[in-house]
A and B are shown apart, each in its own frame.
Chain A
Amino acid sequence: MTTAAPPIVRERPRPAPAPGGPSRSPLRRGDPGPAWLFLAPFGIFYLAFLIGPTIFMIVASFFNTSLVHTDLGSFAGFKNYAEMLTRADFWSAMWHTLQFTIYTTPPLVILAFIFAVLTNRVRRGQWFFRLAFFMPYVLPSATISLIWVFVFTPATGLWALVESWFGITPGNGVLANPNTAMIGIAIATVWWTLGFNFVLYLAGLQEIPRELYEAAAVDGASNWAQIRYITLPLLSRTTTLVILLQIIASLKIFDQVYLMTGGGPGISTQVALGLITGTAFTDDRVGAASAASVLLFIVIVAVAVVRQLFDRSAARKEA
């Protein structure tokens, strides 16, 4: 949106102030000192905990770095990358991340859209629907994981109880089966994060001019036709945004997997960040973990760049 727009800058031609009276025109141009003082506190943290670690991650990916030594260790060249790109568990983690994205994105987009459109149209009780759908989003991943692991308890859990109501014989538990564990994590995630997309869609709905619906209604368009031909197309920008945000969030998934399955059974739900932290903190192979981090970093930044480009083109169209 506004990243593309030229920043609003106050440019007031002012006479150069007399020495000793800088306070009379504090916002004039050409005195960079105070500006940098305002930027410095944030800038120090930005450099120390965003740029610094990024550079160190890239450097360490070319060395046999370990946790116990403070130095980088011996030079490894591209060996860490070669190792990661040929390791089966790396590709399996990447595949699980993709699998998670495929499972969660459609319900998170479609259900959030439906809930938002319907909530926007009901006259009463909007607060209740917002509470029901959005509240889980502010809960810690630890809470949602404990709840869903319990719901998925083999044989005696709530999920098994509901299954038995429908005549399905509860198996050995959704999370204990390598074929369904990721589905269980996806269900918990959809329940947890749908509220985020829901409020994004609600916000998008606010921006559709009421006149459009009025005109359509005058022409006899049904409610469904209005949604199909007005709401859906006008919310397409929000939908693209929601999908891209969902892909980025999926690539960074860690909490639910760590807490619900620990990557198991076996490595059937191991995802990229789980592999990275395991390689670094359990195997003590920081160099290899850094190489995997760089690869994941590149993928995420690539999607984020697509997002920025999309935002810019959308902003240009609006202008």
Chain B
Amino acid sequence: MTTVTDSTDVRRPQRVVTGAAPAANGARIGTSGRGFQIVSAIVLIVFAIIWLIPSLFALKTSLTDNGVAALGAGSILKDWNPTLHSYASFFHAGDIWNWYIASAITSVITAVLTVFFASMAAFALSRLRFRGRNFTLLLIVLGIMIPTQVLIVPIFQELNAMNLLNTYWSVIFPQVPAVIAVFIFKQFFDGIPADLEEAARIDGAGRWRVYWSVILPLSRPVLAAVTILTFVGVWNNLLLPLFVLTNPDLMTIPVGLATVQSSYGQRYADIQAGAILAALPLIILYLVFQRQIVEGVTGSGLKG
């Protein structure tokens, strides 16, 4: 996988140049390089601050009194009496707990099923020979191109016919066939040398043992990346749960938040606290698994 995080790898050419091409222009390039560095850094810092402002402003608002927040952005910025009142009232109202539970259950189950089933399918495609293999590969490529969002109406009807509307399964099942996951796993498995299986095979291990005890343990990084990305994708999905979950007790975070927007009116601090609370688990997840998330996003973006 591409190690995006390790971008220090591409070192500035100047340093090498001063070694390779002696004295003559080494110094000049060195200085221009430093000037470029400074300009780059300033441009980047300005934009990074612009990029951080909306989140920080939301955070600041969520820590402001509703009355002060209603007066406008200027009052929010000038206010220095931070309060956790909005968070407290959110937790007190109780809905947020239901939303967290719904989002956690659906995201975890979908991630587990997707990773398990997709890696099994990828193992078959990477390691086993069978009739219809090329056709199956074709189905995978076709599946990647299907825009699942556009299928929302037939999926709704199918879940309705299965009597699954307003159950967590209605959010889980349609998100399990993430074809891109099969693709990512297959690519990774293809890169695992065959010799590693030989020993297991000589020991009499069957296909399941090879998959479970040889391939999967060697695939931890890609397993982690796909698990996290699936989790994030399901947690953030709005379209599907919006239409298949109408029972307020079962709503996932994004659907619940959509109702906050319309029912909270001018309680800006409360609304922003809700926005932060919905994002909080993902912010933590991002800070912990930064590398896996960036690598996974890059991998699926480039290959999907």
Kindly state the separation between the CA atoms of A296 and B132 in the bound complex, as whole angstroms.
Answer: 31
| Min distance, Cβ A54 to any Cβ of chain B, angstroms | 6
**B54: Cβ under 8 A from any A Cβ:** yes
Q: Which residues of A contact B90 (CB under 8 A)?
A: none
**B271: Cβ under 8 A from any A Cβ:** yes
Instruction: Indicate if the CB atoms of A213 and B47 lie closer than 8 Å.
Output: no
Kindly state the separation between the CA atoms of A222 and B34 in the bound complex, as whole angstroms.
Answer: 12
Q: Which residues of B contact A251 (CB under 8 A)?
A: 147
**A7: Cβ under 8 A from any B Cβ:** yes
Instruction: Indicate if the CB atoms of A143 and B257 lie closer than 8 Å.
Output: yes
Instruction: Indicate if the CB atoms of A205 and B54 lie closer than 8 Å.
Output: no
Q: Which residues of B contact A28 (CB under 8 A)?
A: 129
**A23: Cβ under 8 A from any B Cβ:** yes
**A91: Cβ under 8 A from any B Cβ:** no
**A64: Cβ under 8 A from any B Cβ:** no
Q: Which residues of A contact B21 (CB under 8 A)?
A: 218
Q: Which residues of B contact A158 (CB under 8 A)?
A: 53-54, 57, 73
**B268: Cβ under 8 A from any A Cβ:** yes
**B108: Cβ under 8 A from any A Cβ:** no
Tell which of A80-88, A93-101, A274-282 binds the partner. A274-282
| Min distance, Cβ B114 to any Cβ of chain A, angstroms | 9
**A45: Cβ under 8 A from any B Cβ:** yes
Looking at chain A's contact residues, is the secondary structure mostly helix, strand, loop, or mixed?
Answer: helix
Instruction: Indicate if the CB atoms of B253 and A301 lie closer than 8 Å.
Output: no
Instruction: Indicate if the CB atoms of A120 and B238 lie closer than 8 Å.
Output: no
Kindly state the separation between the CA atoms of A156 and B303 in the bound complex, as whole angstroms.
Answer: 44
Instruction: Indicate if the CB atoms of B153 and A297 lie closer than 8 Å.
Output: no
Q: Which residues of A contact B222 (CB under 8 A)?
A: none
Instruction: Indicate if the CB atoms of A147 and B275 lie closer than 8 Å.
Output: yes
Q: Which residues of A contact B4 (CB under 8 A)?
A: 199, 202-203, 206
Q: Which residues of B contact A276 (CB under 8 A)?
A: 150, 152-153
| Min distance, Cβ A12 to any Cβ of chain B, angstroms | 8
Instruction: Indicate if the CB atoms of B25 and A220 lie closer than 8 Å.
Output: yes
Interface string of A32-70 (1 = CB under 8 A from B): 101110110111011011101110110010000101001
Instruction: Indicate if the CB atoms of A119 and B51 lie closer than 8 Å.
Output: no
Q: Which residues of B contact A22 (CB under 8 A)?
A: 206
Residue of B nearest to A137 (CB): B297
Q: Name which of B145, B204, B254 has the most chain A CB atoms within 10 A of its CB.
A: B145
Looking at chain B's contact residues, is the secondary structure mostly helix, strand, loop, or mixed?
Answer: helix
Q: Name which of A60, A217, A254 has the most chain B CB atoms within 10 A of its CB.
A: A217
Interface string of A105-132 (1 = CB under 8 A from B): 0000001001100111111011011101
Instruction: Indicate if the CB atoms of B128 and A38 lie closer than 8 Å.
Output: yes
Kindly state the separation between the CA atoms of A42 and B303 in the bound complex, as whole angstroms.
Answer: 20
Q: Which residues of B contact A199 (CB under 8 A)?
A: 4, 294, 297-298, 301
A27 and B73 contact, Cβ closer than 8 Å, known pairs A142-B257, A210-B11? no
Interface residue from B136, B145, B194, B243 paired with A39 (Cβ < 8 Å): B136
Q: Which residues of A contact B120 (CB under 8 A)?
A: 38-39, 41-42
Q: Which residues of A contact B37 (CB under 8 A)?
A: 121-123
**A239: Cβ under 8 A from any B Cβ:** no
Interface string of A254-283 (1 = CB under 8 A from B): 110011000000000000010011001100
Q: Which residues of B contact A2 (CB under 8 A)?
A: 187, 190, 303
**A308: Cβ under 8 A from any B Cβ:** yes
**B97: Cβ under 8 A from any A Cβ:** no
Q: Mind listing 23 A-B residue pairs with CB under 8 Å?
A: A2-B190, A28-B129, A32-B130, A32-B131, A38-B211, A39-B125, A42-B118, A46-B143, A50-B146, A60-B153, A70-B161, A135-B283, A139-B236, A140-B254, A142-B255, A147-B54, A153-B73, A161-B73, A252-B149, A273-B149, A280-B156, A286-B153, A308-B145
Residue ranges of A at the interface with B (Cβ–Cβ < 8 Å): 1-3, 7-11, 22-32, 34-36, 38-39, 41-43, 45-46, 48-50, 52-54, 56-57, 60, 65, 67, 70, 111, 114-115, 118-123, 125-126, 128-130, 132-143, 145-151, 153, 155-158, 160-161, 191, 194, 196, 199-200, 202-203, 205-208, 210, 213-214, 216-218, 220, 222-223, 226, 241, 245, 248, 251-252, 254-255, 258-259, 273, 276-277, 280-281, 286, 289-290, 293, 296-297, 300-301, 304-305, 308
* In the A-B complex, the 5 residue pairs with the closest CB atoms: A156-B72, A35-B130, A53-B154, A38-B124, A304-B145
Residue ranges of B at the interface with A (Cβ–Cβ < 8 Å): 2-14, 16-17, 20-21, 25, 29, 32-33, 36-37, 40-41, 43-44, 47-49, 51-55, 57-58, 61, 70-74, 77, 113, 116-118, 120-121, 123-133, 136-137, 139, 141, 143-158, 160-161, 173-174, 176-177, 179, 182, 186-187, 190, 194, 197, 201, 204-211, 232, 235-236, 238-239, 242-243, 253-255, 257-258, 260-261, 268, 271-272, 274-276, 278-279, 282-283, 285-286, 290, 293-294, 297-298, 301-303
Known: A53-B154, A142-B238, A146-B274. 20 other contacts (CB 8 A): A9-B129, A35-B124, A45-B117, A49-B173, A50-B151, A111-B47, A120-B10, A121-B36, A122-B41, A135-B283, A136-B54, A137-B297, A140-B282, A206-B6, A214-B16, A216-B13, A241-B302, A258-B242, A280-B156, A290-B153
